[in-house]
Amino acid sequence: MHYAYVLENTEDRSWYIGYTGNLKTRLSDHNSGKGGQFTRRKASWKLIYYEAYIEKADALGREKFLKGGSGRKYLKKQLKHYLSS
């Protein structure tokens, strides 16, 4: 499986949107400083959203969409209960 995912920083609530083939390992990488350049600067990330795909190209396309303006609006709508708490 391939995943498009959203992490939230527990300190400042900033988001990171990414793609991976192994969600559990990637989350561990982000929290141990082995993740992307953005996540290395901060500690303590938690998974708040993910979508699973059979094809890698579909997950990469979804990651690209989620990083854009329409994708951010979509995420805010999907996570409205989480974001209001």
24-79 pLDDT, tens digit each? 999 999 988 887 788 888 878 999 999 999 999 999 999 999 999 999 999 999 99
Q: What would the mean pLDDT of 2-21 be, rounded to a whole number? A: 95
Using alpha carbons, select from 12, 1, 4 the residue that is nearest to residue 59.
Answer: 4
Q: How many CA atoms lie within 13 Å of 53's alpha carbon, on the beta-carbon side?
A: 18
Q: List the domain boundaries for the chain.
A: 2-84
Q: Is the pLDDT of residue 16 over 90?
A: yes
- Answering whether pTM is above 0.85, one says yes
Which option is the CATH number for 2-84: 3.40.50, 1.10.150, 3.40.1440, 2.60.120?
3.40.1440
pLDDT of 3 higher than 80: yes
